[in-house]
Structure 1
Amino acid sequence: MLWIENIIGQAMLLAPYFATTLTILLALLLDKTLGEAKHYHYLVGFGWLADKIELALNANSSPDKLKNYFQSMAQANQQQSTLRIKLLGTFAWCLLVLPLPTFYFLFMNDLVWYWQILLDACVLYLAIGLNSLHQHAMQIYLPLKAGKIEQARHFTGYIVSRETSALSPQAMSRATVESMLENGHDSVIASMVYYIIGGAPLVILHRFANTLDAMWGYKNTRFNDFGYASAKLDDLLGFFSGKVCTLLYAIQGNIKQSVINAYQQGNQYKSHNGGWVMAAGATVMKITLGGNALYHGKTVTSPTLGLGRSVSIDDMPRSITLVKRAAILLVFFVLILQLSCYFSYHDS
C-alpha cells in the first residue's frame, strides 16, 4: 500500500501546477454526468431579473411607455433621446453583469488550491453547455430520421429565433448545424478560453454578457437602442475567443481554406464572431450553410458559409462531434502549455 500512498502524494504535489487543466476537465466531466439543470437554472433567474430591469428602464419596452416617453420628450432632440436610452441600456448591462464577477474576484479567488479547483469547476460547469447542445441536436435529429417532421420543427424552435412552422427537413438541418457551430463557441469554447485567461470571474462576466445579448441584441424598435451596449460588448468579448474557436475548428480539416473562408465569408455575416466560426466549421465539414430564413415575418438572406455540398440531416451529429473535438483540443493545448511551464520552472 506504500506505493499507492506515494503516487497519491506525488499527485497532490503536482496538482497545483496543473490547476487550469484539472478545473476544465472536472467541469467537462460534471457537464457530461449531470447535464444542464432541469429546474431552478441560474440563467432563468438572471433572465427574470433582466426583464424586470429592462421594463423599468427601457422607454421602448411597450407601446404605452413609448407613447408616454415621446410625449414627455416632445421638446427634446431625437438624437438626445436615443443617446439617453443607450446610456440606460449600458447602465442596465453594468448593473446585471458586473457585481457577481467582481464579488467572486475579491472574495472567492484566493482559496486553498483544491477548494479553488472545485469551486471554479462548478462555475465553469454552469457556464458551458456541451451536453445540452448534444441533447438539443438529438431532439431534432432523431425525429427527422423517423419522419416526425412536426416534432422536429417543434424542437428546432428551441434553438433558433427564425420561424420554424414551415421548415423543410433540409432547412431544419441547416438551422441546427448553424446553431451547433455558433453555440459551440458561445456556450463551450468561449467559457473555456475565458477561464484560461481570467479564471471564473471572467467566465461569469462572459456568460451574463452573452445571455443579455441573446435577450436584448435585436435590431427592432424595442431593443435597437437599449440593447446597443449589450450587442457591442458581446461582440467585443467574443472577438478573441471566436478566433480561437475558428482555429480549433479549422485544424480538424482543411486549415488553410477554413481560415480563408472564415475571413472572407464570416466578415459578410450579420454576426462577425458567429460568421467566422460557422464558416470555418462548415468548411471542415465540407458543407455550405446560409441562405434564406424567415424572422418575424421578414425573409433574411445570409451569405454562403463554408465550401461543399448542401447540408443534410446526418450533418447534425457531425457538427456536435466537431465541437467536442474542439473542446478536447483546447484541453490538450492547455496541458501542453502547463507541462512546458512546469518543466521550464523546475529546470531553471
Structure 2
Amino acid sequence: MGALLVAVLVCMAALLLDHLVGEPRRGHPVVIFGHCATWLERRLNSTPGSGGFPKGCLATLILVLPLVSLAALIVWLLPAPWSWLLEAVGLWLVLSLRGLAEHGLTVAEALEQQDLATAREQVGRIVSRQTDQLDETGVATAATESMLENGADAVFASLFWYLVAGLPGIVLHRAVNTLDAMWGYRNGRFLYFGRCAARLDDVLNWLPARLTALGYAIVGHFRPAIECWRRQAPDWDSPNGGPVMAAGAGALGVSLGGATRYDTGLKQRPVLGAGPAASAATVHGSIRLVRRSVALWLLVMVLGALAWELVLW
C-alpha cells in the first residue's frame, strides 16, 4: 500500500473519530498549548507593547520548534502501523468539524427560538467581536462567518498539512494557528509581538484557504461564489479570510461583513457576498457547506490516491 493511500486512510480515520467522539472534553493538547503560550507571553511581553517583534519571534520559535521536532522524531522512531495510528489520533485532536458544527447549531437553535440573549452568549464563545449588543442579523452574521473561516482553519488546513508533511505538518500548523488566534490582534499589546505568528499563519494557510474557497464554490452556488471571491476578497483585511468568506457568502447567496464592534472599537468591514442578510437558516447552510466541502476534497483525495496506486501497479 502506497504512502499516499495510507495518508488518505489516516485522514478518513481521523474524520471518523471526530464524527463519533468529537473533541476531548478535558486535557485537550491545544488548550494545554494555549496555557503555555499565555504563560510565556506574560513574561516576554509583560508591559503592553514592550515585547516587540523580536521577542514575538523568539516566543513563537520556543513554542513551535520543540513540538514539531518531537513529532518528527516520534514518527521516525515509531514503526508502521503504530505510526499510522498515532497520526490518525494526532489529526483527530486538531480537527474540529463536529465541534464547529455543534457551536454553530447552538447559535442557530437559539435564534430559531427567538432567544437572543442565549444566541449572543453562544456566538460570543466562537468569535472575538463584542456580542452583547448584536441583533439577530448580527448574531447570525458572526456565526456564519465563524463557520466559514474555521472550516478552512480548523478543518481543511489540518487535512492539507497532514498530506503535505505528516504529523509534523499538522503540529506546525495547529501551533502557529493557535498563536495567531491568541496574539494576532492589532492592538497595543500584540501589534508587534504577535506579528511573527500572524505572518507565519498567513503563509501556512494561503493555499488551504484558496482550496477551501474553491470547495465552497463547487458545492454551493458556483458562479456567484467565484465572482464574489474575485471582486470582494481583495478588499478584506485578511489575505486568507477574504477568499474563504467571500466565496462562502457567494456560495450561500447571502450578505456578510459590514460594520462590527470589537474591543478596539467599531470596525467598518466591506460587505461580502450578495443577497439577503444572514439568519438562522444561513448558519445551518454554512455548516452544510463546510461538511460538503470536506466530503468533496476527501473524495478527490481518495480518487487521487487510487489513481496513483494504479500508476505504480
Instruction: Report the 3-state secondary structure (helix = DSSP H, G, I; strand = E; otherwise coil) of the residue aligned with 1:108.
Output: helix
Tell me whether 264-273 or 105-114 shows the greater mean CA deviation.
Answer: 105-114
Give 1:273's match in structure 2, choosing from 218, 240, 244.
Answer: 240
Residue 286 of structure 2 is aligned to residue 343 of structure 1: no
Highest relative contact order (Cα 8 Å, sep 6+), 1 or 2?
2
Q: CA deviation at 1:288?
A: 1.1
Contact between 2:260 and 2:266, CA under 8 Å: does it hold in 1?
yes
Aligned to 2:21: 34
Instruction: Report the 3-state secondary structure (helix = DSSP H, G, I; strand = E; otherwise coil) of the residue aligned with 2:114.
Output: coil
Residue 218 of structure 2 is aligned to residue 251 of structure 1: yes
1:5-44 map, 5 Å: 14=1, 18-44=5-31
> What amino acid is the match of 1:29?
L
Aligned to 1:219: 186
Give 2:52's match in structure 1, choosing from 85, 103, 106.
Answer: 85
CA distance in 1, matches of 2:4, 2:56: 42
Instruction: Report the 3-state secondary structure (helix = DSSP H, G, I; strand = E; otherwise coil) of the residue aligned with 1:270.
Output: coil
Q: CA deviation at 1:181?
A: 0.1
Specify every segment of 5 or more residues in structure 2 that has no aligned partner in the other structure, as ranges: none
1:291-310 map, 5 Å: 291-296=258-263, 298-310=265-277
Contact between 1:140 and 1:152, CA under 8 Å: does it hold in 2?
yes
Aligned to 1:184: 151
Q: CA deviation at 1:111?
A: 3.7
Aligned to 1:60: 47
Cα distance per residue 1:209-255 (max 9 Å; x no partner): 00000100011111011111011111111101111111111111343
Percentage of pairs with the same residue: 36
Instruction: Report the 3-state secondary structure (helix = DSSP H, G, I; strand = E; otherwise coil) of the residue aligned with 2:24.
Output: coil
Specify every segment of 5 or more residues in structure 1 that has no aligned partner in the other structure, as ranges: 1-13, 70-83
1:227-246 map, 5 Å: 227-246=194-213
CA distance in 1, matches of 2:202, 2:3: 34
CA distance in 2, matches of 1:203, 1:297: 32
Between Structure 1 and Structure 2, whose CA radius of gyration is higher? 1
Q: CA deviation at 1:260?
A: 3.2
Q: CA deviation at 1:85?
A: 1.9
Q: CA deviation at 1:277?
A: 0.5
CA distance in 2, matches of 1:144, 1:254: 25
Q: CA deviation at 1:107?
A: 3.0
Q: CA deviation at 1:15?
A: 7.8
Q: RMSD of aligned C-alpha atoms?
A: 1.6
Large movers: runs of 4+ above 4 Å: 14-17
Give 1:139's match in structure 2, choosing from 88, 106, 109.
Answer: 106
Q: CA deviation at 1:342?
A: 0.7
CA distance in 2, matches of 1:194, 1:53: 26
Give 2:129's match in structure 1, choosing from 152, 155, 162.
Answer: 162
Q: CA deviation at 1:267?
A: 1.6
TM, length-normalised to structure 2: 0.95
Cα distance per residue 1:85-119 (max 9 Å; x no partner): 21110010011112111121133246443222211
Aligned to 1:199: 166
